[in-house]
Chain A
Amino acid sequence: MDLLTLLQVLDATVRLSTPLLLACLAGLFSERAGIFDIGLEGKMLAAAFTAAAVAAITGNVWIGLVAGIAASLLFSAIHGLASITFRGNQLISGVALNFLASGLTVLVAQAWFAQGGRTPSLQGAARFNPITLPFAESLSGVPILGPIYAELISGHTILVYVSFLVVPLTWWILFRTRFGLRLRAVGENPAAVDTAGISVVGLRFAAVGICGVLCGIAGAYLSTGLQAGFVKDMTAGRGYIALAALIFAKWRPWYALTACLLFGFLQAIALRSDLIEAVIGFRIQIQLLDALPYILTVIILAGFVGKAIPPRAGGEPYVKER
């Protein structure tokens, strides 16, 4: 395998990791605050559809992005209302929202565009296009570093760069700011936060809100960056994979990056079965390759990858004890 082929696989890894990473960090904010969110999938799907639909109509992808984030935030608000305000079961609320998103997106798409539950194909300014970083062309002649810069680092959409910048930002917010300290505390022991005179409900809604924004960007990226339009169930379980990555990452931002790159890599090599055959010498069924990320998800969720301790108050509505 030559350098260029390797770079192509890694390039695909980066593109495919992006939505996972955004969703994973979204889940990180929510779960660190003690709200389990199995509805990452539904939020991404709602955002993917809304972003593509609005971008198709307005012809402006930025308006699409904002609309996608708004749709995701609406779902977050419902989840927050159910699980924070009314102290409902967080898993049930999340699952319900996933079903709602799965059905509603196709229904509205069909009613709106009459293209079999899709949105029209997006072109030009209606989708996020790759950005060529400065000097990518001129430096591509430099051995090794040149192609890495030109092929791997340059040539992604703006959202890819944003998602990778969110990693250090998340770390900084969680571990270096007052908000982060309180957010982590409310996921571990909400009573400690309450008796310190801080609103548990307010903090948790803030966390769920951030989760909504990040899921919104992830969903918009799927339909306007990675693909050119919305198709039915296009998230394809990415929300669940992001949750598995979150557990794998032990709820830490930098580990989340590693975990999501691993999943992205598995998705990327599944696209290049010819390469695998060339490397290992025999053919693997493409279906098996496609299933790899999901198999890894099951393995991680079954607890085979070390002991991951979730935030202690996770999944529990906060009720002042009598």
Chain B
Amino acid sequence: MTSPASGTAHPAIELRGISKAFGAVQANKDISIRVMPGTIHGIIGENGAGKSTLMSILYGFYKADAGEIFINGSKTLIPDSQAAIAAGIGMVFQHFKLVENFTVLENVVLGAEDSGLLRPSLARARRELKSLAEEYELNVDPDALIEDIGVGMQQRVEILKALYRKADILILDEPTGVLTPAEADQLFRILGRLKEEGKTIILITHKLREIMEITETVSVMRRGEMTATVKTAETSPPELAELMVGRKVLLRVDKKPATPGANVLEVRDLKVTDDKGVRRLKGISFDVRAGEILGIAGVAGNGQSELLEVLGGYEKASGTIRLNGELIDLTGKHSDGQSRRHRGIAHVPEDRQREGLIMDYMAWENAVFGYHHEPEYQKSRLFMDNAAIREDAAAKMGRFDVRPPDPKLSAKNFSGGNQQKIVLAREIERNPDLLLIGQPTRGVDIGAIEFIHQQIVALRDQGKAILLVSVELDEILSLSDRIAVMFDGQIMGERLPSETDAKELGLLMAGMTGEAA
């Protein structure tokens, strides 16, 4: 380990000519990058651009096919994570590498024990965590089990793990993907603090706002190649977006004013109590009209998920829901997702990998789920018409620009954006009266975000009702025709996007009312 001061002449990290292929896919092509010590360096790119692969190589998780790594100016071989740790590199993966039923302390100590016996190691780690907590505002209960703490806390544990191993260089892979806006702000404060202490930070993200907010230098990756490295102060979001996707992107959604019609969905006094007896929805009422997008804003976990689950047919509730004036069965035989879809309620779930797709099934199979009982897919009473389903799926994938357009590929082999397009194609192409859509662009790259937003607006322009749930305030503001804010299982208020702003919505999301609109 070298202190950052002695390395000022050299970059903290320099990668030269890194290449890595997974089978036929070239994930990294001849990549070179220099990261100066004591700075926050952003790496931005679409999903699948090769950012995570590059950093996993630096952390010794993957082996590069070619290329060299220099740490503080001296050439370093990093064949495994052990070597990376010894070189002072720590990494916070997008999917945390924690042992769920271990305590925070045990997770921090794992792999960095002082001796064969645990007790002294745990005692030292406890002291060390206390001083780290004071130094960087990284407060975590050392005796809490990982499975009992939230994702924000778990991320802190990952950072603490790196710091406990005396990391000078910290790599964070999409750190805000799982965080609420407030948690993300807190994380950025911590990162700022770490930088002040002389640590070098590499931030991998696909969110332009984060790059602009916190980094000093930014490198842009596209399809496995490094397309540019620029000073953040000398660039702008449109320029970065263009570098990422290789063409101009509209960050604002282009849409005509809505021409709402009659009420399609009428929700009255909807209540949900979960199996632990906690009231998740406390009697909410709202309408969605034909030809409009109602956006539900709110910090994750304030009842939005439950609302989607009730409407989508996999959570029981009390209250009434009417679709085009007719009552929807909330507790009985027809309260399942399939019945809902049959009635014309299409649902793009929040977590597409768990609720929207079966990851090991092929695209054409996924493109029919939920509608597989519809008569046009049946050959006879017993058999499904697979040829028709496949043909149908191929056509849908073509229209929704799913890449690669191969219906026989498993869902897991598509990027996040293309997985979402498969779900969207399935739900939209059935011509529903009402579309429920949760976190439409979570983990989706910029090119696909634009496409998905266009599809949602096009559906609205056909006179359909859309209920949009998103934790991304920008998305809510730019897509919605009307915005309802949820907090603690209740709707705090409704606003028109033209008459409100992020600040006011933020207050409502925090449960504060009484402000004049």
Instruction: Confirm or deny: B215 has a beta carbon within 8 angstroms of a beta carbon on chain A.
Output: no
Are the CB atoms of A188 and B101 closer together than 8 Å? yes
A194-B100 contact given A176-B118, A177-B117, A178-B115, CB 8 Å threshold: no
Closest B-chain residue to A185, C-beta based? B99
- Contact digits for A310-322, partner B, Cβ 8 Å, 1 yes 0 no: 0010000000101
Instruction: Confirm or deny: A135 has a beta carbon within 8 angstroms of a beta carbon on chain B.
Output: no
Are the CB atoms of B109 and A195 closer together than 8 Å? no
User: Which of B22, B59, B102 is within 8 Å of A185, CB to CB?
Assistant: B102
Q: How far is the CA of A317 from the CA of B116 in the complex (A)?
A: 27
Residues of A close to B101: CB separation below 8 A: 188, 312
Q: How far is the CA of A116 from the CA of B171 in the complex (A)?
A: 67
Number of chain B interface residues as a range = 20 to 34
Q: How far is the CA of A189 from the CA of B121 in the complex (A)?
A: 21
Q: How far is the CA of A179 from the CA of B102 in the complex (A)?
A: 15
User: Which of A177, A188, A192, A196 is within 8 Å of B112, CB to CB?
Assistant: A196
Are the CB atoms of A196 and B61 closer together than 8 Å? no
With both chains docked as a complex, state the minimum distance between the C-beta of A291 and any C-beta of chain B, in angstroms.
36
Interface stretch of the complex, out of B80-88, B132-140, B308-316, B494-502: B80-88
Q: How far is the CA of A175 from the CA of B102 in the complex (A)?
A: 11
Q: How far is the CA of A197 from the CA of B60 in the complex (A)?
A: 9
With both chains docked as a complex, state the minimum distance between the C-beta of B88 and any C-beta of chain A, in angstroms.
13
Instruction: Confirm or deny: A166 has a beta carbon within 8 angstroms of a beta carbon on chain B.
Output: no
User: Which of A181, A193, A312 is within 8 Å of B109, CB to CB?
Assistant: A181
A178-B81 contact given A189-B97, A193-B111, A196-B110, CB 8 Å threshold: no
Q: How far is the CA of A195 from the CA of B81 in the complex (A)?
A: 6
Are the CB atoms of A177 and B99 closer together than 8 Å? no
User: Which of B61, B107, B117 is within 8 Å of A176, CB to CB?
Assistant: B117
User: Which of A176, A182, A192 is within 8 Å of B98, CB to CB?
Assistant: A192
Instruction: Confirm or deny: B450 has a beta carbon within 8 angstroms of a beta carbon on chain A.
Output: no
Q: How far is the CA of A48 from the CA of B129 in the complex (A)?
A: 51
Closest B-chain residue to A179, C-beta based? B116
User: Which of A175, A178, A192, A193 is within 8 Å of B116, CB to CB?
Assistant: A178
Q: How far is the CA of A179 from the CA of B99 in the complex (A)?
A: 15
Are the CB atoms of B61 and A181 closer together than 8 Å? no
Are the CB atoms of A181 and B113 closer together than 8 Å? yes
With both chains docked as a complex, state the minimum distance between the C-beta of B412 and any C-beta of chain A, in angstroms.
10
With both chains docked as a complex, state the minimum distance between the C-beta of A106 and any C-beta of chain B, in angstroms.
42
Are the CB atoms of B97 and A181 closer together than 8 Å? no
Are the CB atoms of A192 and B99 closer together than 8 Å? yes
With both chains docked as a complex, state the minimum distance between the C-beta of B363 and any C-beta of chain A, in angstroms.
18
Q: How far is the CA of A312 from the CA of B146 in the complex (A)?
A: 14
Are the CB atoms of A196 and B117 closer together than 8 Å? no
Instruction: Confirm or deny: B62 has a beta carbon within 8 angstroms of a beta carbon on chain A.
Output: yes
Residues of B close to A176: CB separation below 8 A: 117-119
Q: Which of B107, B110, B119, B121 has the most CB of A within 10 A?
A: B110
**Chain B positions 91-150 with a Cβ under 8 Å from a chain A Cβ:** 91, 93, 97-102, 106-107, 109-113, 115-119, 121
Residues of A close to B99: CB separation below 8 A: 184-185, 188-189, 192
With both chains docked as a complex, state the minimum distance between the C-beta of A196 and any C-beta of chain B, in angstroms.
3
Instruction: Confirm or deny: A191 has a beta carbon within 8 angstroms of a beta carbon on chain B.
Output: yes
- Contact digits for A169-187, partner B, Cβ 8 Å, 1 yes 0 no: 0000001111111101100
Q: How far is the CA of A294 from the CA of B497 in the complex (A)?
A: 68
Are the CB atoms of A181 and B118 closer together than 8 Å? yes
Closest B-chain residue to A175, C-beta based? B118
Closest B-chain residue to A198, C-beta based? B111
Q: How far is the CA of A189 from the CA of B61 in the complex (A)?
A: 15
Q: How far is the CA of A312 from the CA of B147 in the complex (A)?
A: 12
Residues of A close to B113: CB separation below 8 A: 178, 181
Q: How far is the CA of A126 from the CA of B512 in the complex (A)?
A: 83
A177-B116 contact given A195-B91, A197-B111, CB 8 Å threshold: yes
**Chain A positions 186-217 with a Cβ under 8 Å from a chain B Cβ:** 188-189, 191-198
Are the CB atoms of B118 and A312 closer together than 8 Å? no
With both chains docked as a complex, state the minimum distance between the C-beta of A68 and any C-beta of chain B, in angstroms.
29
Residues of A close to B107: CB separation below 8 A: 192
- Contact digits for A54-94, partner B, Cβ 8 Å, 1 yes 0 no: 00000000000000000000000000000000000000000
Q: How far is the CA of A73 from the CA of B85 in the complex (A)?
A: 34
Q: How far is the CA of A176 from the CA of B97 in the complex (A)?
A: 22
Q: With contacts A181-B110, A197-B81 known, what are 18 further pairs, Cβ within 8 A?
A: A175-B118, A176-B118, A177-B116, A177-B118, A178-B121, A180-B118, A181-B109, A182-B111, A192-B97, A192-B107, A192-B110, A195-B93, A196-B85, A196-B97, A196-B110, A196-B161, A197-B60, A312-B101
Give the 5 A-B CB pairs with smallest separation, nearest first. A196-B111, A197-B82, A192-B97, A178-B113, A197-B81
Which chain B residues have a beta carbon within 8 Å of chain A's beta carbons? 22, 59-62, 80-85, 91, 93, 97-102, 106-107, 109-113, 115-119, 121, 161
Which chain A residues have a beta carbon within 8 Å of chain B's beta carbons? 175-182, 184-185, 188-189, 191-198, 312, 320, 322
